[in-house]
Amino acid sequence: MGKAWKFGDNISTDLIAPGMYFHLRSNLPELAKHVLEGARPDFASLVQDGDFVVAGENFGLGSSREHAPVIIKMAGTRAVLAKSFARIFYRNCINIGLPAMTCDTDGIDEGDELELDMENGIILDKTKGKEITFPPLPPVMNKIMQEGGLVAYIKAHRSLEI
Amino acid sequence: MEGKTLSEKIIGEHCGKDVKAGEVVVVNVDLSYVQDGTGPLTVRRMAEMGLEKAYDPQRTVFFFDHASPSPRMELSNDHEFLRDFARKTGIILSDVGYGISHHNVLEKYARPCDIIVGADSHTCTGGALGAFATGMGSTDVAVAIALGRTWMRVPDTYLVEVSGRLPKGVYSKDIILHLIGKITSNGATYKALEFTGDTIAALSTAARSTIANMAVESGAKVGLFPPDGETRKFLGLMGREEAFRELGSDEDAVFEKRIEINAEELEPTIACPHLVDNTKTVSEVGKVKVDEVFIGTSCNGRLEDLHIAVSILKGNRISRDTRVIVTPASRMVYLEALRDGTIETLVEAGALVTAPGCGACVGVHEGVLGDGDVCLATQPRNFKGRMGNPNSFIYLGSPAVAAATALTGEITDPREVM
């Protein structure tokens, strides 16, 4: 169980992993101290293990920098929930084993207690006493996610078969 | 059997079977590349996978363009890490000074109908030559480098038909900004954009590369220009005419959507802070004072772009209150601009010319904005914080809007000074 941190539409990778910290990309623990700083300067200091990033449309648009989902995950985030995701960011999330769920986030408010049930495709908003459903990942992404990400997948299979 | 789109044909060739939009397939990759911001993580991912060799080192390139030359020791160390790996594996190194990955790819590597993956979102620039070129993250590109393959969903296609003669002062940048304003920043997510029409046929490869480059700003996976006579000409100029191949969508191909743009109705267009789809015509915006003008990047740093700026700046002085930074896209562009006097004219007008690369667009060096600064840039992106400072404001426009703005110190319609 974790708390919801609400963000709006069009949260770009420049807001998640700002270019001004470009020199920290090979020092991810330091970079993670600035996660989502462009959208919410105090986020990194407030987020707790198991919390959720909850956003609107087109989350993660912009750069291909995989560092963006990596530092969201390093901050302890359980999952990112958004109405829609930008393509590269979404693929990066799955590749690094960060659950990214597409669902209606309008009913979730900042601070709501959430629980993620990956198997049944349900987010339980305990504060509201409501269930929000999300569609399963596409089969190929589900396979990669099940194995903990693309690195683990390739290590296990030594090839890319889908 | 119904016809196929260009995307379906290219992907089908690379997985050895007929495919339709919506299918997920594993394809062979013709070219994989990274840049210095994404490359170190790519190399670490290869180590984690225990695959520290390139499938085809001569079709793999490491480009140093984001921090180039390096402004900090951390980034110098990243460069050294990548150089060392390239030496060990035989991967091609495009070191500082050679410029932006995507433009070196157009000049030296991309072939029509190739599948190209790059760890940079603007990899779609390769669509200007009819290559199915798309950006991915470090781990995906690590797999493509090591195994020569990647997986992808065959995209549905939006056919964008642009017709009519471009009015004076209106360029390909205005076409793509207009399109993104119309369909929004996620209007084409997961889709292939394919460009057609007599306006497109008349565009140079440089002008097409501006449009292909910004396809991703609408969420698209690729921005494809079916290879034609212009493509053959460009490849010939690069000494690679043998790479030319003609291929296009079938007449009865299934397009998910058709978007028509009348070029004759377009006006100089800009994207206002802090989103690319926040577009307005220059006349709608009115006068906005500008502190920095930046001409260059993967979007508008080719010789043709610098020539457009020169046509407005030649014999004039830039505004006293505005600094103007020009960054050629590649070493080839830089050399040509030196030889034909372009650089001299720009410097005489008061501009500053940097080494080829991404320059100020990535917020790392060569023109980081100050608090409250307003910038008019020819780059593809204006997100908050993009140019290294969340307290600054970025407008995007064509090289003509940039040059006109440089003269007056406020956002200016180029037709007023042409």
Full DSSP string of B155-199: PPEEEEEEESPPPTT--HHHHHHHHHHHH-TTTTTTPEEEEESHH
CB A102 within 8 A of CB A83: yes
d(CA A62, CA A60): 7
Phi, psi of B197 (to 5 degrees): 110, 165
Q: What's the pLDDT band for B2 if we cut at 50, 70, 90? A: confident
Question: Which tens digits make up the pLDDT trace of B108-125?
Answer: 999 999 999 999 999 999
Query: Min CA distance, A32 vs chain B (Å)?
Result: 15
Q: Is A129 exposed, middle or buried (0-12, 13-18, 19+ CB in 10 A)?
A: exposed
Confidence of residue B365 (pLDDT cuts 50, 70, 90): very high
> In angstroms, how far is the first alpha carbon of chain A from the final one?
33
What residues 136-175 of chain B have any CB closer than 8 A to a CB of chain A?
136-140, 143, 146-147, 149-151, 153
What pLDDT, in 10s, does the model give residues B371-391? 999 999 999 999 999 999 999
Question: Of B227, B175, B234, B178, whose CA–CA distance to B206 is shortest?
Answer: B234
Q: What is the pLDDT of residue B89?
A: 98
Candidate from B75, B136, B381 with C-beta closest to A64? B136
Q: In angstroms, what CA-CA distances link B270 with A10, B114, B401?
A: 19, 32, 8
Task: Examine residue A162 and state whether it is found in any structural domain, yes or no.
Answer: no
Which pLDDT score, from 0 to 100, does residue B370 have? 98
CA distance B165 to B159: 19
Predicted pLDDT of residue B13? 98
Task: Say if the Cβ atoms of B136 and A67 lie within 8 Å.
Answer: no
pLDDT tens digits, B244-299 = 999 999 999 999 999 999 999 999 999 999 999 999 999 999 889 999 999 999 99
Confidence band (pLDDT; 50, 70, 90) for B319?
A: very high
- Quick one: pLDDT at residue A161? 84
Q: Taking all residues of chain B, what is their mean pLDDT, rounded to a whole number?
A: 98
Closest CA to B263 of B204, B209, B196: B196
pLDDT given at position A7: 98
Report the amino acid identity of residue B79: H
pLDDT band at A56 (very low <50, low <70, confident <90, very high): very high
- d(CA B203, CA B206) in angstroms, rounded, equals 8
Q: Which of 3.40.10.10, 3.30.499.10, 3.40.50.11540, 3.40.50.300 is the CATH number of B9-261?
A: 3.30.499.10
Answer yes or no: is pLDDT of B304 > 80.
yes
Residue A29 lies in a domain: yes
Domain that holds residue A111: 2-157
B218 touches B184 (CB < 8 A): yes
**What pLDDT does residue A123 have?**
98
Residue B1 pLDDT > 80, yes or no? no
Nearest CB to B186: which of A86, A96, A162?
Answer: A86
Give the model confidence (pLDDT) of B122-176 as tens digits.
Answer: 999 999 999 999 999 999 999 999 999 999 999 999 999 999 999 999 999 999 9
Domain ranges in chain B?
9-261, 270-413
Could you check whether B9-261 and B270-413 share the same CATH topology? yes
Contact between A38 and B384 using a beta-carbon 8 Å cutoff: yes
Q: B82 to chain A, minimum CA–CA distance in Å?
A: 12
pLDDT average, residue stretch B6-29: 97
pLDDT at B399 over 90: yes
Mean pLDDT of B65-80: 98
Calpha distance A123→A18 (Å, rounded): 30
User: What three-state secondary structure class fits B331?
Assistant: helix
Domains in chain A, number: 1
Q: Is the pLDDT of residue B230 over 80?
A: yes
CATH number of the domain that A34 lies in? 3.20.19.10
Q: In what order do the strands lie in the sheet with B115-119?
A: B92-94, B60-63, B31-35, B115-119, B132-135
Architecture of domain B270-413: 2-Layer Sandwich (3.30)
Task: With CA atoms as reference, report the closest residue to A149 among B137, B79, B82.
Answer: B137
> What pLDDT is recorded for position B316?
97
ipTM over 0.95: yes
Q: What is the Cα–Cα distance from B356 to B65, expressed in whole angstroms?
A: 8
> If pLDDT is split at 50, 70 and 90, which confidence band does B33 have?
very high
B396: which strand partners?
B271, B377
Please give, rounded to a whole number of angstroms, the shortest distance from the CA of B195 to a CA of chain A.
21
First-last CA distance in chain B: 52
What proportion of chain B, given as a percentage, has pLDDT over 70? 100
pTM of this prediction? 0.98
For B166-220, what is each residue's pLDDT tens digit?
999 999 999 999 999 999 999 999 999 999 999 999 999 999 999 999 999 999 9
pLDDT band at A158 (very low <50, low <70, confident <90, very high): confident
Both tokens of B87, joined, read 């030496």
List CB contacts (< 8 A) between B189 and chain A: 58, 84, 86-87
**Does residue A15 belong to the interface with chain B, where contact is any CB pair within 8 Å?**
yes
What is the sign of the dihedral through the CA atoms of B298, B300, B304 and B310? negative
Q: Spell out which residues of chain A touch residue B135, defining contact as CB-CB under 8 Å.
A: 64, 88
Euclidean distance between CA atoms B206 and B189, whole angstroms:
24
Q: What is the mean pLDDT of residues B315-330?
A: 97
pLDDT of the residue at B208 = 98
Residues 6+ apart with CB under 8 A from A162: A139, A140, A143, B24, B25, B26, B151
Contact status, residue B394 vs residue B413, Cβ threshold 8 Å: no
Q: Which residues in chain B are closer than 8 Å to A17, comparing Cβ atoms? A: none
Using CB atoms and an 8 Å cut-off, which of residues 103-142 of chain B contact chain A? 118-121, 123, 135-140
B67 CB within 8 Å of a chain A CB: yes
Cα distance between residue B353 and residue B376, in whole Å: 16
A30-45: pLDDT as tens digits: 999 999 999 999 999 9
Integer CA distances (angstroms), B10 to B114, B144, B200, B349, in order: 7, 17, 21, 46
Token representation of residue B160: 């964008």
Q: Is the pLDDT of residue A99 over 90?
A: yes
Mean pLDDT in residue range A143-161? 94
Residue B364 is predicted with a pLDDT of: 96
